[in-house]
Structure 1
């Protein structure tokens, strides 16, 4: 981050060093299974959108076409596509695939998230 003329922090893409996004072994297995079951799927896209009571919400969607502004993280064949615009908000996140009760869900362990809403569906910085 840099300070501008008003002493406000300003994000600079050129001066940033990314830590990246990490996949757990469980997430790798699930993404590989999804790719195996869908022959046109290239991986998952991990993004965020303004939503929810805390400010941002995570989104995962199947990728069938690559965007030029995506960063691709690959682990043992599992590919995670992340928009460069989302990186300041999710850099350092670990994506896991866990069992909660009788359901399995992707879980986001984001060190940049300072709080989550009561229902756990959104996060804030």
Structure 2
């Protein structure tokens, strides 16, 4: 009996649509233009987690991080796989894993650090956001400080 080997190919229902390199460059330039303390960053734990998460997804550009109105405190984080870059997006390079966000969300998450937290059986991406003024008891929503 002869051993057979098979190479695994990523399976995706989403067609791979090339992203315009000029759009990526413009998004990177917008992010780099911010003062260092206002840029989005991630810990090594978050970077490794996202690297594993995106490894078999050829359509993944990085992590899209945003906010939406939600809950009792006002806003909640929204995280998804980034598959495109909008005309006004910002692209933060974090050691090979981009965080992509829109300018409206950036106002509330400016200077945040993304972390991957393991606490017992709980594993999650957590946003360490210096702009948070208050959060609800369940931790699902937050309010941000007013900026001048």
Structure 1 unaligned blocks of 5 or more: 1-16
Which of the two has greater helix per residue? Answer: 2
* CA RMSD of superposed structures (Å): 1.5
Deviation per residue, 1:75-95 (Å, 9 max, x gap): 221111011111111101111
Distance 2:93 2:103 in 1: 16
Structure 2 unaligned blocks of 5 or more: 1-33
* CA-CA distance at 1:40 after TM superposition: 1.0
* CA-CA distance at 1:37 after TM superposition: 2.1
Equivalent in the alignment of 1:89: 108
Aligned residues: 110
Equivalent in the alignment of 2:51: 32
Equivalent in the alignment of 2:90: 71
The structure 1 segments of at least 4 consecutive aligned residues displaced by more than 2 Å after TM superposition are none
* CA-CA distance at 1:67 after TM superposition: 1.3
What TM-score comes out, normalization by structure 2 length? Answer: 0.70
* CA-CA distance at 1:30 after TM superposition: 1.3
Larger CA Rg, structure 1 vs 2: 2
Which of the two has greater strand per residue? Answer: 1
Contact 1:97 1:106 in 2 (8 A): yes
* CA-CA distance at 1:70 after TM superposition: 1.0
What TM-score comes out, normalization by structure 1 length? Answer: 0.82
Pair 1:44-2:63 in alignment? yes
Equivalent in the alignment of 1:5: none
Distance 1:101 1:122 in 2: 23
